[in-house]
Amino acid sequence: MLFGSRISTHFDYILILLILPIILLSSYLLSETSQALLLKQMGYCFLSIFIFLFVFFMPIRYTHKGIVAFYWICILLLLAVKFIGTTKLGAQRWINIGGFSLQPSEPIKIAIVIFLAHYINRNPPPIDGYGWIEFCKISFFILLPFGLILIEPDLGSAIIVLFMGYGMLFVIGVHKKIWISCIVFMLLFSPIAFKFILKPYQIDRIMKLVSGNTSSQVQQSLIAVGSGGIAGRSKTESTQAILKFLPIATSDFIFAHFAERFGFVGSCLLIGLYGLIVVHLLSFCFLDTKDYFIKVIASSLAMLFFIYTAVNIAMTIELAPVVGIPLPLLSYGGSSFVTFIILIAMFENVITFRFGFNFNQNKPSKKLNILSNSS
């Protein structure tokens, strides 16, 4: 009884209440475009309930060896994509395991977050932030998967990994001289990356964005957003999505579908809802300044919500190149949906069990398999 009452006391119900409307909106929009996709998405939602409960009751603060192993398994899967991966939509990003198709760039996001949560919790930054040595060590575990995802190529997922990792570090604390040096390096390196690292089709997308000569799918997206007006249009009048003029209306361009149905007012409310989720998650970074488990997972999840939302909406309204990033919990798809559910379950776990319940106490361990003594 005591264990159950403490869970009910410290569980963060607000986050669940903020994401439920998004999931319900997703089902509503899918019901208007494809009953088959709706049934599949409902299956993902049903499966996610069990995944959430499984992750929520895991002793996350104690699974050091398992987390290290999980990170390196994900790295091996990213390497395997190059040799045994399957190609879809012109990119080699998937591995077929039996009848199941796995995109390793999704679980690596989970692996990075929980791996760094363990490492940073045991090697907290000094008052003025991490110095060069620790910054470079942590950067290695961010840049390694970033590089492997980039060469698939999957620019969208690579950008997410990069900004999620360094956005989290910005919240955790790094010496300001390091950030200044990184900004200068990025400015100097950007032309080289543009010329020698980006693929021709990626450069083409950027040039089309700059010149205003956007693809037909973006043009149809802009028409859908504009036709929604202030208050939106009825289902029968939403011709862009219903008559299939709007491509990928259930996933990458679902915001355009939403804007056509609910207009400018609805779009602002949806963006505001995502904004509340981000602010709410970031507020937990100040809950306990010494608990870096909470700070890392909360800030990483907040960064993911922000990056996914900002990039998806920006590419929908011609402010960013199309990179295939879904809108969190709203776009159709199992991989991204399950990834967010797992991260939310991890967040709820470290929040609920932060006071040392039976199997999930936050006390130092004598064994550390993440790195050798280096702090």
Q: Does some domain include residue 240?
A: yes
Position 371 scores a pLDDT of 44
Q: Does some domain include residue 220?
A: yes
Examine the domain organization and report whether 342 and 242 are in the same domain: yes
Q: Label residue 126 left, alpha or beta by phi (over 0 means left) and psi (-120 to 50 means alpha).
A: beta
DSSP state of 90: T
Poorest-pLDDT segment among 46-55, 331-340, 354-363 = 354-363
Q: Among 49, 39, 286, 26, which Cα is nearest to 171's?
A: 286
Q: Report how far residue 192's alpha carbon sits from residue 21's, in angstroms, rounded to the nearest whole number.
A: 43
Alpha helices in 85-199 (DSSP H): 107-122, 132-150, 155-172, 176-196
Question: At residue 374, does pLDDT exceed 50?
Answer: no
Examine the domain organization and report whether 325 and 255 are in the same domain: yes
The string of pLDDT tens digits covering residues 137-160 is 999 999 999 999 988 878 888 889
Q: Does some domain include residue 310?
A: yes
Position 87 scores a pLDDT of 67
Q: Does some domain include residue 112?
A: yes
- Per the structure, the complete domain to which residue 267 belongs is given by 10-57+210-354
Q: Does some domain include residue 141?
A: yes
Question: At residue 306, does pLDDT exceed 70?
Answer: yes
- Number of domains comprising the chain: 2
Examine the domain organization and report whether 263 and 344 are in the same domain: yes
Examine the domain organization and report whether 118 and 20 are in the same domain: no
Buried b / exposed e over 160-169, threshold 16 CB at 10 Å, is bbbbbbbbbb
Position 15 scores a pLDDT of 94
Q: Report how far residue 315's alpha carbon sits from residue 312's, in angstroms, rounded to the nearest whole number.
A: 5
Residue type present at position 251: S
Examine the domain organization and report whether 175 and 258 are in the same domain: no
User: Of 197, 231, 263, at which residue does a domain stop?
Assistant: 197
The string of pLDDT tens digits covering residues 85-116 is 776 655 667 777 666 677 888 899 999 999 99
Phi, psi of 12 (to 5 degrees): -85, 95
Examine the domain organization and report whether 241 and 262 are in the same domain: yes
Q: Report how far residue 158's alpha carbon sits from residue 155's, in angstroms, rounded to the nearest whole number.
A: 5
Q: What is the mean pLDDT of the chain?
A: 83
DSSP state of 95: E
Measured between alpha carbons, how far is residue 295 from residues 176, 187, 354 in Å? 19, 29, 12
Question: At residue 362, does pLDDT exceed 50?
Answer: no
Q: Mean of the pLDDT values across residues 32-50?
A: 88
Q: Does some domain include residue 132?
A: yes
Phi, psi of 371 (to 5 degrees): -145, 160
Examine the domain organization and report whether 161 and 226 are in the same domain: no
Position 224 scores a pLDDT of 84
Which of 313 and 246 is assigned the larger pLDDT? 313
Position 90 scores a pLDDT of 59
Q: Does some domain include residue 62?
A: no
Question: At residue 372, does pLDDT exceed 50?
Answer: no
DSSP state of 92: E
Examine the domain organization and report whether 22 and 124 are in the same domain: no
Phi, psi of 130 (to 5 degrees): -60, 145
pTM: 0.86
Buried b / exposed e over 60-81, threshold 16 CB at 10 Å, is bbbebeebbebbeebbebbeeb
Q: Does some domain include residue 360?
A: no
Examine the domain organization and report whether 344 and 218 are in the same domain: yes
Examine the domain organization and report whether 182 and 218 are in the same domain: no
Question: At residue 202, does pLDDT exceed 90?
Answer: no
Examine the domain organization and report whether 185 and 109 are in the same domain: yes
